[in-house]
Structure 1
Amino acid sequence: MTPAEPALNTYPAVLDDTELPDYVRELELAAHYLPEAQRLQLRRAWSVGAAAHVGQTRKSGEPYITHPVAVAKVLAEQGLDVETLVAAILHDTIEDTPLTRECLATEFGPTVAELVDGVTKLDKLQFRDRQEAAAESFRKMLLAMARDLRVILIKLADRLHNMRTLGAQSAEARERIARETLEIYAPIAQRLGMNLIKAELQDLGFRALHPWRHAVIEKRIRTQPVVRRESLVQIEAHLAQRLAKEKLQHRLISRVKSPWSIYMKMHHEHKSFNQVMDVFGFRVVVRSVPDCYHALGVVHSAYKPLDARFRDFIAIPKANGYQSLHTVLFGPYGSPVEVQIRTEDMDLIAERGIAAHWSYKHGGEGPNSAQSRAHSWIASLVESQRSTGSSLEFLENVKVDLFPDEVYLFTPKGDIMSLPRNSTALDFAYAVHTDVGNRAVAARVDGKLVPLRTKLASGQRVEIITAKSSTPKPQWLEFVVSGKARTSIRQQLKQLEHEDAVQLGHRMLDRALEVLETSLDRTPALRLESYLAEYRYPRLEALLADIALGNRMPNQVALALAREVPGKSRGRAIDRPRLPEDKILITGAERGVISFANCCLPLPGDEIMGYHTAGKGIVVHRLDCPNVADYRKSPDRWVAIGWDRQVSGDFAAALRIEVDNRPGSLAQVAAAIAEAESNIDRVEYLERDANIAIMRFAIEVSDRRHLADVMRRVRRLAVVLGVQRM
């Protein structure tokens, strides 16, 4: 311990009952399930925390210690263990007070110290902006979650109390915190099955972000028509009577949808409040799984069910472990009534999610339990974060995985897989295994051959068709929705770009060494290792990639390596290198290391030259490009390149088209370009008057011949006065 650190024995002793503040009494009351010795630990934690935070206040003016104690109370209401409650009381001490992790470990044990450290934000580190800091803080929290799930429980309780006391913040802070809560923390609570906390976070976030909309919807719920409220009483009495007649022990609970869920339904389905009919519903809680299906038969005999609105989440649980039967009934006044049927165990897990593991021990360790599902989800996130380039990219991937709805799909062997809403066959492929995704070429859905971009629906049987020669395409990122697929595709594309860069760099260095009458194979190993060590390259591949990307000039590298070749003179050939006469041939598919200049838009068939640009690799220009004259001033950066026999892909081109300015002219030109099997990227008017319009068409073609065909078709149009390549 450094001299600046406080000794824990300097903190005041635990107070007796008469001296305890009311907020500590409320915590102990909520933690009534703990033995007395453990409740004394809570007092000790409060005593240490209060002394550590002494002099610190919240924006509301209250002593700061009231916040962490309130966080512990939220967790006590969920039935959490004493270590979690102690960590909650002390969760801001490492960040905001002189207390260290070592101090906490000495007094309260290593588990408490680990939990506190996991929750601690990274505000003390320097980031480019608040957004990056929040993303990095989230990444750290996830890694701590992987070690102990209780970290996220403390974080959620911390966010819940902050939302309850949001009024003291500025308007800007309220909006930022509310948006973050709705985008990240409420979906995490839902993903972990903690519906009670999720519902309150959503309601508080909605109220802070859209106070007027929240107030209007809340008032409409309270002032529902008398007829509808009376019908609900009638339905409740009828269902209770029918269930009792069947000798089913049950609890029947009426429920009202929250303002947030009603607002989201209105927003997504473009409905008015009056059109959102199923605002009210019922929950039937019974003793066993067979009783659930028995109760389902009872309610379906009492009221007719709506077709296609029945969901069996008992046989196929949600990804967060949630289990229940959902059905929608025709009510006596034509209003649909939602009914959920579940067991007591399922009800506890539905409300508390992973928190139920600590307060309710029956069946909490099975493969479908909320606890084990949460662990597998977090394990997949940890795998994902290892592959992402930045914290912001990782956070975006996590947001994608927090979709509230899932689709449930079957593998060819009959196993069930859950994926986010709107997932495609390619998302399914990556969910099976990264290698399956990387090699995917098509899919069979319910026995029918479909492309990889096909969206999937619950209940479908999916089989992925692979090929060894297949590799990920950049276009795949446009239609995958799962975080794992997005991360895997980006990682593989980076790997392919690196391989392309290594190959191109190898060819460029070989050309430069040929001029010096040597080669890479004839370069002594010691000299090569010395050069790599001098410039801190871990491997030869890293140097070759750097050459391709323009960060090292091949001529300079060749000179350095050739100087030490035995028997070579240090004459003119080495000191004044000339450019190699052989061209490097390109296919256009070199990823990340070859780009095509926007100033002249070169196409296969054009005479071209390359200009070596730091960080960009080789930028290809047409030889007749006006900018080439400027590049002549740096001949060492010229790269002699040409087109390979096999050229693949589509290339950008631009046409200047002059037409009669009359209705339908643009449509005729667009149709002619489409008939020539060319895509139009963009159209803009360059000049326009009453008689003539001059337009620029940005299109995609395969080569010069294809472009010539497009121009011929356009020239044939009667409305076209002239066509010119730009």
Structure 2
Amino acid sequence: MLRQYELVERVLGYDPDADEAVLNRAYVYTVQKHGTQKRASGDPYFSHPVEVAGLMTDLQLDQETIITALLHDTVEDTLATIDDIEANFGTEVAQLVDGVTKLSKIEAMPENERAAENLRKFLLAMSEDIRVLLVKLADRLHNMRTLHFIKSPDKRRRIARETMDIYAPLAERVGMYEYMREMQLLAFEQLEPEAFHTITKRLEELRSQDGGQVDAIALAIKQALAEAGLQVEVSGREKHPYSIWRKMAERHVSFEQVTDIMAFRVVCDTEADCYAAMGVLHTTWQALPGRFKDYISTPKSNGYRSLHTSLMYENSMRVEVQIRTREMHQRNEFGLAAHWAYKQGDRPDGQVGWLRDLIEIVDASHDAEELLEHTRMAIYQDRIFAFTPKGSLFQLPKGATPVDFAFAVHTDLGAQTVGAKINGRHMPLRTPLNNGDVVEIIKGKNAEPQLSWLGFVVTGKARASIRRAVRLKEHAEVAEIGRKLFDEIAGRVPAKIGKKAVREAVKRLEMEDEEDLMFAVGAAKLTDREVMEALVPGSTSDLPDNHDWSRRDHAISIRGLTAGVGFKLATCCHPVPGDRIVGLRKKDEGVEVHAIDCLELASGIDNDWLDLSWGKRSQGATGRLRVTIYDRPGTLAEMAGIFAQNVANVTSLEQVQLDHPFTTYEIDVEVQDLAHLTRILSAMRASDAVAQAERV
């Protein structure tokens, strides 16, 4: 563990203007606050924030970030508060500590929701200040280094999986490749211990057999470049076990068949030297087709710049070579952190493009599952490059389509897309894009995202935006149904209902606005009684609490039952007056009334059957319909109009199937009798909005 003076000396070594007294005070503060707390390793707890601060000094970050690293666990794990932090160390440090604290686990939630909520808070905190991410990544890296001290295998695997799914990809996206590689390696050891140990053992065997082959190849590359007049630094290494395991899994090959286990890095003085070095290597050894990538002229979205190529060395050995300048190398290994020159007022953009996309995904995602799905798609996929007709460059995942491209340019453009030209030719919207494609999006003024697009888009931003648009459209259509039902309910209230009464009802029901109220009515989230009472308080007080307002004066009587015997209408067949009915008497229960052709009757063959008929009071039963409508604007409202025209009260509306261009609903509707239900069905089948309608 770093001693107090060692940490301060490190900071002063790269920032002589740093406030030594504040750094000392922060070190003492974290030691005092964490007191006698211990980690799973048995070490004092304060050793963890001190080591995290040490990692921040390796990146030469500003003193506020170092202090944040020292204090990042004090609010969560001690009696310290954000106000205490602000009083002692200032507003900026308090905001950074608060941002890191908000990322702490929410243990009460189910695992997947907890991961999603952490990620949601993480992304929002990052949008305020990217230093929050840098501290959190260092925090996670140190925790991974000590993960083996945790006794519970399940807990170790859970932390490792979260690291592999979220933190390592985020480290990659801000260009911190050293952090990414170490996180992946440590997580791989926990998630696939057998594969980890097997590959590690094979690498050790190769190392003992090759007689310094890595050094020999590095020397050969350096000599070839020196003969061409290029002064470079060359280093070689074996790829780490997780990288090899991924290649084995992706290519479905054994360890022996993975030929490019060794990778070499050539560091040059200038960009021109990089391209010259590549030319020398390609003329000295055979270059493998399709393996050359120029990330200098077209950098990755995280700022990564380098030339990549693969060579066929002696004895048919494949080797990977990366060529870059010293400045590129520093940026490539530590990404945004390497360019953080805060003390000079040169702040990197905390909301780089991909981060803005992630914030949009947070806003658009409906639940935990969606958020995790969309975010993982956004942060961890291989990339291609595509251009607008004016030459603007956009990076997208492999397999991206023109719709993904449109949403990458702007959310509004994606929403209005009706067609696309790829390299000047009209192409289907589901066409996968290739590297270097020029994409022109054709938009329509009244266009809107289509549900069917979810079948081929691959970016998290596109999926989140499409799902949000579809939800809003469905919300508006259900609200339109609710408005018609609301008018019918309001007609029963013993008072004239104006806009003021509606506004007051919204407040009493704790709705956000009138639209929210109409949606709740349309989705059957409110009973008729609740709506009437909100409109005119006390208007339902003279009736019993169990009075069903949607069935007022519609009590049902059944002939054939012994006086006093209770009954209920079966929910499997929803019999209505006019159906031939039969009673099923179950032991220790009342009588269940079924339509004579109900399939469920077969399961009650051992129960007593009663021959029943409808009595004089036989209005207000509920029938169930399954209606498939065309998925276009206004169809749901047209269906609602049919119910209103036939004076039928919808008590439940549930979407049961999405199969573009159709949407299927199951609808419970109060009817007078079978003839009433048949009229509604006939009107449905005659409507252009309805593809199919049947009774359930």
RMSD of equivalent CA atoms: 4.2
The answer on 1:311 being equivalent to 2:259 is: no
Q: Deviations over 1:150-188 (max 9, x none)?
A: 111111111111111111112111111111111111111
What are the equivalent positions in structure 2 for 1:91-106 lying under 5 Å apart? 91-106=72-87
Matched with 1:245 is 227
The answer to whether the 8 A contact 2:389-2:440 is kept is: yes
Q: Aligned partners of 2:171 and 2:534: how far apart in 1?
A: 59
The answer to whether the 8 A contact 1:424-1:453 is kept is: yes
* Between 133-142 and 638-647, the greater mean CA deviation after superposition: 638-647
Q: Aligned partners of 2:69 and 2:499: how far apart in 1?
A: 59
Distance 1:320 1:188, change over 3 A: same
The answer to whether the 8 A contact 2:653-2:665 is kept is: no
Q: Aligned partners of 2:481 and 2:276: how far apart in 1?
A: 69
Q: How far is 1:563 from its partner?
A: 12
What are the equivalent positions in structure 2 for 1:345-364 lying under 5 Å apart? 345-358=327-340
Q: How far is 1:266 from its partner?
A: 0.6
Question: What SS does the corresponding residue of 2:340 show, helix, strand or coil?
Answer: helix
The answer on 1:588 being equivalent to 2:565 is: no
Select the residue among 377, 381, 386 that pairs with 1:400: 377
Matched with 1:377 is 354
Distance 1:622 1:376, change over 3 A: closer
Distance 1:404 1:508, change over 3 A: closer
The answer to whether the 8 A contact 1:441-1:465 is kept is: yes
Q: How far is 1:198 from its partner?
A: 0.8
Select the residue among 67, 71, 82 that pairs with 1:90: 71
Matched with 2:519 is 545
Distance 1:205 1:339, change over 3 A: same
Q: Aligned partners of 2:530 and 2:135: how far apart in 1?
A: 57
Q: How far is 1:462 from its partner?
A: 1.6
Q: How far is 1:525 from its partner?
A: 3.3
Select the residue among 236, 244, 259 that pairs with 1:262: 244
The answer to whether the 8 A contact 2:416-2:447 is kept is: yes
The answer on 1:485 being equivalent to 2:472 is: no
Q: Aligned partners of 1:25 and 1:612: how far apart in 2?
A: 72
Same amino acid, percent of matched pairs: 37
Q: How far is 1:204 from its partner?
A: 0.8
Matched with 2:418 is 441
The answer to whether the 8 A contact 1:445-1:461 is kept is: yes
Question: What SS does the corresponding residue of 2:394 show, helix, strand or coil?
Answer: strand
* Between 319-328 and 384-393, the greater mean CA deviation after superposition: 384-393
Select the residue among 647, 651, 664 that pairs with 1:612: 651
Question: What SS does the corresponding residue of 2:316 show, helix, strand or coil?
Answer: coil
The answer on 1:75 being equivalent to 2:56 is: yes
* Between 46-55 and 548-557, the greater mean CA deviation after superposition: 548-557
Matched with 1:292 is 274
Give unpaired runs (5+ residues) of structure 1.
1-20, 366-370, 565-573, 596-606, 651-701, 705-724
Question: What SS does the corresponding residue of 1:137 show, helix, strand or coil?
Answer: helix
Q: Deviations over 1:219-247 (max 9, x none)?
A: 22232288866665554333212221232
Select the residue among 535, 548, 551 that pairs with 2:509: 535
Matched with 2:395 is 418
Q: How far is 1:88 from its partner?
A: 0.7
Q: Deviations over 1:374-397 (max 9, x none)?
A: 633222222332233345533332
TM-score (ref. length: structure 2): 0.76
Matched with 2:684 is 643
The answer to whether the 8 A contact 1:187-1:404 is kept is: no
Q: Aligned partners of 1:255 and 1:60: how far apart in 2?
A: 31
Q: Aligned partners of 2:79 and 2:46: how far apart in 1?
A: 15
* Between 210-219 and 236-245, the greater mean CA deviation after superposition: 236-245
Q: Aligned partners of 2:250 and 2:128: how far apart in 1?
A: 37
TM-score (ref. length: structure 1): 0.73
Distance 1:637 1:194, change over 3 A: farther
Distance 1:563 1:373, change over 3 A: closer
Question: What SS does the corresponding residue of 2:287 show, helix, strand or coil?
Answer: coil
Q: How far is 1:133 from its partner?
A: 3.1
The answer to whether the 8 A contact 1:609-1:621 is kept is: no
Distance 1:361 1:317, change over 3 A: farther
Select the residue among 119, 124, 136 that pairs with 2:117: 136
Q: How many residue pairs get matched?
A: 600
The amino acid across from 2:376 in the alignment is K
Select the residue among 449, 462, 465 that pairs with 2:442: 465
Q: Deviations over 1:496-536 (max 9, x none)?
A: 0111112222333456678x799x9x853344444444434
Question: What SS does the corresponding residue of 2:324 show, helix, strand or coil?
Answer: strand
Question: What SS does the corresponding residue of 1:224 show, helix, strand or coil?
Answer: helix
* Between 546-555 and 53-62, the greater mean CA deviation after superposition: 546-555
Distance 1:300 1:53, change over 3 A: same
Q: Aligned partners of 1:638 and 1:527: how far apart in 2?
A: 37
The answer to whether the 8 A contact 1:422-1:456 is kept is: yes
* Between 266-275 and 551-560, the greater mean CA deviation after superposition: 551-560
Distance 1:614 1:239, change over 3 A: closer
The answer to whether the 8 A contact 2:627-2:693 is kept is: no
The amino acid across from 1:355 in the alignment is A
The answer on 1:278 being equivalent to 2:260 is: yes
Select the residue among 116, 125, 138 that pairs with 1:157: 138
Question: What SS does the corresponding residue of 1:348 show, helix, strand or coil?
Answer: helix
The answer to whether the 8 A contact 1:329-1:339 is kept is: yes
Select the residue among 328, 337, 342 that pairs with 2:310: 328
Matched with 1:115 is 96
Distance 1:531 1:644, change over 3 A: farther
Q: How far is 1:260 from its partner?
A: 0.7
* Between 554-563 and 244-253, the greater mean CA deviation after superposition: 554-563
Q: Deviations over 1:648-696 (max 9, x none)?
A: 687xxxxxxxxxxxxxxxxxxxxxxxxxxxxxxxxxxxxxxxxxxxxxx
Give unpaired runs (5+ residues) of structure 2.
539-550, 555-618, 637-645, 657-663
The amino acid across from 2:380 in the alignment is F
Q: How far is 1:331 from its partner?
A: 0.9
Distance 1:534 1:116, change over 3 A: closer
The answer to whether the 8 A contact 1:320-1:373 is kept is: no
Q: Aligned partners of 2:537 and 2:341: how far apart in 1?
A: 74
Select the residue among 370, 386, 407 that pairs with 1:430: 407
The amino acid across from 2:203 in the alignment is I
* Between 185-194 and 128-137, the greater mean CA deviation after superposition: 128-137
Q: Aligned partners of 1:270 and 1:609: how far apart in 2?
A: 61
Q: How far is 1:559 from its partner?
A: 10
The answer to whether the 8 A contact 1:425-1:462 is kept is: yes
Q: How far is 1:421 from its partner?
A: 2.8
The answer to whether the 8 A contact 1:429-1:437 is kept is: yes
Matched with 1:302 is 284
Q: Aligned partners of 1:616 and 1:308: how far apart in 2?
A: 48
Matched with 1:502 is 479
Q: Aligned partners of 2:374 and 2:127: how far apart in 1?
A: 17
Matched with 2:185 is 203
Matched with 2:565 is none
The answer to whether the 8 A contact 1:243-1:298 is kept is: yes
The amino acid across from 2:97 in the alignment is V
Q: Aligned partners of 2:674 and 2:513: how far apart in 1?
A: 29
